[in-house]
Structure 1
Amino acid sequence: MSELVVVDAGRYGTKTVTEGIRDWFPSVIGEYRELKLGRAWTHQDMIVEFDGDKYYVGEIAKTESNGAATLMLDSKVTIDTKLLILTALHRTLPNNTAAFVVTSVPISSQNELEKLHMKQLLLGSHSITVNDVSKSFHVTRVEVGIECAVAAWMLRKKRKGTYLVVDIGSRTVNFTTIVNGQWIDRLSGTLPFGTETENISMTLFVRMVMAELSRRIKPLPALVLMGGKAKDLLEYFQTYTHDVEVHHDPLHANADAMYQFWRGSYRMKPQKRSSKCETVNLGVSFNLLDPHQAALYQFAKKKFVNFSAAAKRWLEDDMKGFVSGQCPMPVPSSDFQVQEQTIPDSVDVDFEPRSAFF
């Protein structure tokens, strides 16, 4: 069984949660250079060697790298994300660990293509050296969740009725509306700015957030703030609404929620395959009676027929016939027709969070 580890590779900081461990380090990467003088090294200072390149990562990159930076691209599928996640694995897992990695993307970025590219980026065997200690990992499975949404939904047992979770990041602000335990897609999304994209005061930043939220959601429900700067921003939000509070652990809220979610379902037996589909290359079967899954099948059939060598090794060696982190290739019966489905007006309906959030 692979080790479950959640890595929330944010633009400001990288948060990691696995069994008995919660970790954080700054998501800053810069070029390596020899230091002329000594340094009082901390746990946040790292020299990282990967794929023949050498970097400073963390606090030391801020002060000692000439080109230290944090990427603010729309997509998280970058070499920086890979480097941050592998560094997180190095900091929290033993050498030669098989890892089931769960990570996340903003609400606005969550689509099947982005998720597939993230899985392709991380799956397989990797070796990385941090502060002269080399480790190897075999990422056997990857799941990509939706930032803010999972954490918001996991609060449903503590908060009843309607509430709005606002996840304040350095590049974006995600917001999720929950009504009676149900995610409301129409009232959830991503604001295209964050605490480090606007050169303005906290007062004006919060005003921008509240202006956008109040324009999109009427009436504005109770707010729950998440993100590393949530506590600092609370007083500014209170000038607009008294019905606002900070999540009990705003920094690790996303990572903790995804870990709790998957810890409960990871060891569940796979469901039986539908009689309407088969699989090839040991991919997980999709229920083709579900229009969303049927559409993904059609997309995958056209775009992702060939597996990489690493993916083939992964499929053959580790999962033994049940893999949800790889692109599926189900074959529908010849008489199969995709049926349209309507969503009931009431939110008091059965809700399957695994398919909704991952």
Structure 2
Amino acid sequence: MIVAVDCGRSYVKVITEGHTFLFPSKVSSWRQRNYKQELAGDIELEYQGRKWFVGKLAEREGEFTRQAMQDSKAVEETLILMMAALHLAGARGRITLVTGLPIGNFTDVEQKAIKRLLEGPHVVSLNRAEKRFYVENVYTTIEGGGAFFSAPRMGLVRIIDVGAKTTNYATFRDKVFIDRESGTLPVGWETVKVSNIKEMADLIAGTVSKTWSERDIVMLVGGMARKLEPYLQDHFRHAFALENPQMANVRGYFEIGKAMIR
């Protein structure tokens, strides 16, 4: 079974065969509630002897609710969010998991850390329903660049993926990744005010324009892609937001997963 998970700083996006969904990337410790109102999308997770609120329930009822904003993704928050994602995806048996890492942090050390965190047997209870599964393989690819494989094309293609904390920018030439014209910027839509979208676009363009041309095709992905589109078109006339840009990376991850096990 292939499960693709884009574990973003704001939302977790998930695709498996015939199933696509997302939920907020929020985690808090579980607490006893005097009056329990169960709403659609609420997640109470039990894993390795500990209990958690996840997603909307963590936002609404959690104390000291947190989201992973560290540079590394090999952290406890990622583990809890991934377990929730796999359970909700109907994980069973042996799992091939595909996920992403920021381009600027795509190192052997980080890839191995993610594999150690996620591979192996898991027993997860979500809303009192228990599932057992085995994550056999974890494949990692680059955030932003993963979106390319959701709509691959020949020629020169640039990608800008604005996340909550960071912005990944990637270059492909004839379907080959060009590392020297790609990277990660320490700016995201949770680090700027909504009124500063134009300034954010100017900052991103000012950095990538050192190696990119205004005539390049630039694919925009991420939850803010459509809002950034008109401002980035001031710098790159052929910039455009992909269809359903928030899910573009995870669509690409799923295509990579299918290619890996053919």
Normalising by structure 2, we get a TM-score of 0.92
The letter for the 1-side match of 2:19 is I
Deviation at 1:153, TM superposition (A): 4.9
2:185 is matched with 191
2:255 is matched with 260
1:56 is matched with 53
Decide whether the 8 Å contact of 1:153 with 1:178 is kept in 2: no
Larger gyration radius, structure 1 or structure 2: 1
Residue 68, structure 1, aligned to residue 65, structure 2: yes
Secondary structure of 1:228 counterpart: coil
Residue 245, structure 1, aligned to residue 226, structure 2: no
2:198 is matched with 203
Deviation at 1:131, TM superposition (A): 1.0
Decide whether the 8 Å contact of 1:30 with 1:68 is kept in 2: yes
Residue 142, structure 1, aligned to residue 138, structure 2: yes
Structure of greater relative contact order (alpha carbons < 8 Å, 6+ residues apart): 2
Matched length: 261
1:113 to 109, 112, 115: 109
2:7 is matched with 9
Secondary structure of 1:25 counterpart: strand
1:151 is matched with 147
Decide whether the 8 Å contact of 2:2 with 2:95 is kept in 1: yes
Q: Distance in 2 between matches of 1:91 and 1:155?
A: 26
* Deviation digits for residues 257-294 of structure 1 (CA, Å, limit 9, x no counterpart): 12112213413xxxxxxxxxxxxxxxxxxxxxxxxxxx
1:42 to 40, 43, 57: 40
Deviation at 1:66, TM superposition (A): 2.2
Q: Distance in 2 between matches of 1:105 and 1:261?
A: 14
1:82 to 68, 75, 79: 79
* Deviation digits for residues 94-120 of structure 1 (CA, Å, limit 9, x no counterpart): 5x4221111111111111111111111
Decide whether the 8 Å contact of 2:149 with 2:253 is kept in 1: no
Q: Distance in 1 between matches of 2:97 and 2:167?
A: 24
Q: Distance in 2 between matches of 1:125 and 1:145?
A: 22
1:182 to 173, 176, 179: 176
Instruction: Trace 1:336-355 onto structure 2 (pairs within 5 A).
Output: none
Q: Distance in 1 between matches of 2:131 and 2:176?
A: 42
Deviation at 1:220, TM superposition (A): 5.9
Deviation at 1:183, TM superposition (A): 1.9
2:158 is matched with 164
Q: Distance in 2 between matches of 1:64 and 1:154?
A: 36
Residue 125, structure 1, aligned to residue 156, structure 2: no
The letter for the 1-side match of 2:200 is F
* Deviation digits for residues 193-227 of structure 1 (CA, Å, limit 9, x no counterpart): 21113346222222221222223434562221101
Q: Distance in 2 between matches of 1:63 and 1:133?
A: 22
Q: Distance in 2 between matches of 1:38 and 1:121?
A: 32
- Unaligned 5+ runs, structure 1: 268-358
Deviation at 1:121, TM superposition (A): 0.8
Decide whether the 8 Å contact of 1:48 with 1:128 is kept in 2: yes
1:223 to 197, 201, 218: 218
Q: What is the CA RMSD across the aligned residues, in angstroms?
A: 1.9
Decide whether the 8 Å contact of 2:68 with 2:78 is kept in 1: no
The letter for the 1-side match of 2:138 is V
Decide whether the 8 Å contact of 2:158 with 2:218 is kept in 1: yes
| Residues 126 and 133 of structure 1, relative CA distance in 2, 3 Å threshold | same
Decide whether the 8 Å contact of 1:173 with 1:191 is kept in 2: yes
Q: Structure 1 or 2: larger strand share?
A: 2
Deviation at 1:40, TM superposition (A): 5.1
Q: Distance in 1 between matches of 2:54 and 2:182?
A: 33
The letter for the 1-side match of 2:245 is P
Normalising by structure 1, we get a TM-score of 0.68
Q: Distance in 2 between matches of 1:37 and 1:239?
A: 52
Decide whether the 8 Å contact of 1:153 with 1:182 is kept in 2: no
* Deviation digits for residues 282-310 of structure 1 (CA, Å, limit 9, x no counterpart): xxxxxxxxxxxxxxxxxxxxxxxxxxxxx
Q: Distance in 2 between matches of 1:187 and 1:171?
A: 21
The letter for the 1-side match of 2:216 is P
Secondary structure of 1:23 counterpart: strand
Secondary structure of 1:236 counterpart: helix
* Deviation digits for residues 242-268 of structure 1 (CA, Å, limit 9, x no counterpart): 32111123122111112112213413x
